[in-house]
């Protein structure tokens, strides 16, 4: 989660993009899809392309991206 990686609180992000902090939590948990306007403001806040934060398909877990699917732990 980019917000946590960058040590930004929900409250800080919400205030910066003009949303309620609970809305940020709902978005992060997949319980709410933001408007295009809000999604663009969040992407701009993090200086990332929209598709780096939002997708129609669920993102694969980061461990899959780094280590590959089905790789055993050693």
Residue by residue, pLDDT tens for the chain (74 residues) are 799 999 999 999 999 999 999 999 999 998 999 999 999 999 999 999 999 899 877 766 666 666 666 554 44
- How far is it, in rounded angstroms, from Cα 28 to Cα 54? 10
pLDDT at position 72? 47
Which pLDDT score is estimated for 10?
A: 97
d(C-alpha 34, C-alpha 23), whole Å: 8
C-alpha span between 1 and 26 (Å, rounded):
13
Q: Quick count: other Cβ atoms within 10 Å of Cβ 27?
A: 21
Where along the chain do its domains lie? Answer: 2-67
Superfamily of domain 2-67: lambda repressor-like DNA-binding domains (1.10.260.40)
Work out the burial of residue 41: count CB atoms within 10 Å of its CB; fewer than 13 is exposed, 13-18 middle, 19 or more buried. Answer: middle
């Amino acid at each position: 989660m980019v917000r946590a990686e960058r040590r930004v609180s929900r409250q800080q992000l919400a205030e910066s993009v003009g949303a309620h902090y609970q809305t940020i939590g709902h978005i992060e948990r997949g319980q709410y899809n933001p408007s295009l306007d809000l999604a663009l403001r969040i992407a701009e806040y993090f200086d990332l392309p929209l598709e780096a934060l939002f997708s129609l398909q669920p993102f694969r877990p980061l461990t899959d991206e780094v280590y590959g699917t089905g790789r055993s732990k050693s």
